[in-house]
Structure 1
Amino acid sequence: MSIRETVSSVRPAPAGRTGEAARGTLGGRTRPRRRSRSLTAERLAPYVLVAPAVLIIVVLRLWPLLLGVNFSFTGDGDRNGTAVGLDNYLRLLDDPLFRQALRNVGLLVLLLPVAVAIPGLLATFIFLRVPGHRLYRSVYFFPAVLSPVIVGAIFNLLLAFDGPANTLLGSVGLGPVDWLGDPDVAMFVVVGVHVWATFGMALVIFLAGFATLDAALLDAARVDGATLPQTIWHVIVPGLTRTIQFVFVTTMIGMLTSMFGLLYVMTSGGPEGSTYLPEYYIWIQQGQMNRPALASAASTVLFVIMLAVGLLQIRLLRRAGRVD
């Protein structure tokens, strides 16, 4: 081998190639770091976005709830701030008004399927575009924008003993009914008025659920000659299972926590305490009887009832959906 060939064989590589190799090596080291940082940011982004809402819920909801539960184990009056154990809960069980309120809660649970079925059927008719469906959509939602006080005042006039309802019954030969003065009738009347005043929101939720329903299933049912009840039971109900679950839970919560205005205006808990509900009982104990600890105990019981009923409804509806 000559001297020239030996020198050329040991000659260093050009500077340009060395720089490209170096940049490739550095790029290979930095890219995984940048990629890991981006993955970490993507994983943290949902928590950062949810954090303000979680903070608001904890500060304004969960923390007051825990304080109320703790306060329910203290006394009222002379024993204010003193730990009394389960005395307040025992007093609730001995109070006939609170027991009546719990019986009325059971009545609401029994009437809940009716309160959900009414907006569900109306939404079905609107979805199927019955004649005048656009007008019905506006008319059905209109009561939802009215104040419970206004609704209660209107129905007080309509259902008075000498009001239009009894006048209409008299014109067909039926005797007058004491709609708001009969203990066996008053609670059903108030619940009916509440359903009429609030089903517009459930109607909107059902219509939103219909937007996710597969139209091909409805066309297949129509081709197979399915009747309207068969289409509702075998196609619409299974397709709207999650929507029905949501409406069941929200309707139950509304019936337990949003009827105070109607009760206050229409019956004031009467006659004979037959229209008491836990929320009205809580207001009486806190606002009139000055028993905040007892009211906190009643609030805790109401929360437990709503939680238990809601979970039971979701479980039953999920099981029914799996069976279908």
Structure 2
Amino acid sequence: MPIGGSSPAVRSAQAERTAGAEVEQPGRHGTGRTSRRVPRGARAERLAPFVLVAPAVLIIVALRLWPLLLGVNFSFTGDGERNGTFVGFDNYAELLNDPLFRTALRNVGLLVILLPVAVAIPGLLATFIYLRVPGHRVFRGVYFFPAVLSPVIVGAIFNLMLGFDGPLNTALAQIGLGPIDWLGDPGIAMFTVVGVHIWATFGMALVVFLAGFSTLDAALLDAARMDGASLPQIIWHVIVPGLSRTIQFVFVTTMIGMLTSMFGLLYVMTSGGPEGSTYLPEFYVWIQQGQMNRPALASAASTVLFLIMLVVGILQVSVLRRAGRED
């Protein structure tokens, strides 16, 4: 055996171990080609959510976002002799100078003020139904029934009831109150139409609240009752915090409905009158597009309506979230 060296057999064994380590090292450190290969099953699982969401995204882009962008672009063009030409912000300046559109914006502010009432009514009724007041099964069907009626039918019914010589004024006269011009007084007409809209549509919000109650922990209600909490305390300290996300959803959807779903009532009950006092941006858009043949100005009004709904919705969600964190 040579001095200071290894035998050929030992060197051969060491060389084999070194070669084996070099072969195994890439796999051990994850740098080999085999370790980088992703199994087909894992790759399919990663792509599955995108494949499932893709049809909905394409529909939203094709039927919502793209027409919205076209409408915004069209609002910067002219009408009549200037049809198709770029006019900048002329349409928006004309909107701000139009008394009818300013009235429509003031009415939007009125809707925002009345929004808590429109949400509180179905919320309280859903609470009573959840607490199983006597006859709650009958009330559930009765409260939802107006939601299936056409706004045209609802408007026609209330036109008869709220007429100057209608049943409501006749009943008021029996108790010594003078007749009220519910639909002909500019100071009252908008409140009347909003009240009818709330009556006709709160059934959907009621269903949403009842669905939210199904996620509420009943043990909290039982504990509150055992501690001697009154019904207002239970509603404010137990039910409202427990339904915070449901309340946020109802606030936003109710506001959108009040801004975009009152055309039928307005058309049948007041046609924007008296003196333009019941104009809303949605009704203004129809007047400019359908009667005045000014589609570019109507597009500008639609863009303003979209921005109003976006800002109001974001503000509502932020305020309600802040209130929920404080509770």
Q: With the length of structure 1 as denominator, give the TM-score of the two structures.
A: 0.90
Matches within 5 A, 1:32-47: 36-47=39-50
Matches within 5 A, 1:245-260: 245-260=248-263
Give the equivalent residue in structure 1 for 2:157: 154
Deviations 1:252-289 (A, max 9, x none): 00000000000000000000000000000000000000
Give the equivalent residue in structure 2 for 1:286: 289
Matches within 5 A, 1:99-178: 99-178=102-181
Q: CA deviation at 1:36?
A: 3.1
For residues 167 and 286 of structure 1, the distance between their equivalents in structure 2, rounded to whole angstroms, comes to: 40
Give the equivalent residue in structure 1 for 2:196: 193
For residues 50 and 225 of structure 2, the distance between their equivalents in structure 1, rounded to whole angstroms, comes to: 46
Give the equivalent residue in structure 2 for 1:209: 212
Q: CA deviation at 1:31?
A: 10
For residues 114 and 173 of structure 2, the distance between their equivalents in structure 1, rounded to whole angstroms, comes to: 28
Give the equivalent residue in structure 2 for 1:316: 319
Q: 1:31 to 1:130 in 2, by over 3 A?
A: farther
Q: CA deviation at 1:89?
A: 0.1
For residues 150 and 205 of structure 2, the distance between their equivalents in structure 1, rounded to whole angstroms, comes to: 17
For residues 190 and 309 of structure 2, the distance between their equivalents in structure 1, rounded to whole angstroms, comes to: 19
Report the AA paired with residue 307 of structure 2: V
Deviations 1:63-83 (A, max 9, x none): 000000000000000000000
Report whether the alignment pairs 1:179 with 2:200: no
Report the AA paired with residue 88 of structure 2: G
Report the AA paired with residue 256 of structure 2: I
Q: CA deviation at 1:30?
A: 12
Give the equivalent residue in structure 2 for 1:62: 65
RMSD: 1.5
Q: CA deviation at 1:181?
A: 0.1
For residues 233 and 153 of structure 2, the distance between their equivalents in structure 1, rounded to whole angstroms, comes to: 40
Q: 1:33 to 1:96 in 2, by over 3 A?
A: same
Give the equivalent residue in structure 1 for 2:82: 79
Q: CA deviation at 1:33?
A: 8.1
Q: CA deviation at 1:46?
A: 1.0
2:52 to 34, 49, 53: 49
For residues 217 and 37 of structure 1, the distance between their equivalents in structure 2, rounded to whole angstroms, comes to: 48
Q: CA deviation at 1:54?
A: 0.7
For residues 31 and 157 of structure 1, the distance between their equivalents in structure 2, rounded to whole angstroms, comes to: 80
Deviations 1:209-238 (A, max 9, x none): 000001111111011010000000000000
Deviations 1:164-213 (A, max 9, x none): 00000000000000000000000000000000000000000000000000
For residues 234 and 36 of structure 1, the distance between their equivalents in structure 2, rounded to whole angstroms, comes to: 52
Q: CA deviation at 1:37?
A: 2.4
Report the AA paired with residue 186 of structure 2: P
SS at match of 2:39: helix
Task: Could you tell me which runs of 5 or more consecutive residues in structure 2 were left unpaired when the two chains were aligned.
Answer: 1-31
For residues 181 and 107 of structure 2, the distance between their equivalents in structure 1, rounded to whole angstroms, comes to: 19
Report the AA paired with residue 137 of structure 1: R
For residues 224 and 31 of structure 1, the distance between their equivalents in structure 2, rounded to whole angstroms, comes to: 65
Give the equivalent residue in structure 2 for 1:240: 243
For residues 243 and 233 of structure 2, the distance between their equivalents in structure 1, rounded to whole angstroms, comes to: 15
For residues 237 and 107 of structure 1, the distance between their equivalents in structure 2, rounded to whole angstroms, comes to: 25
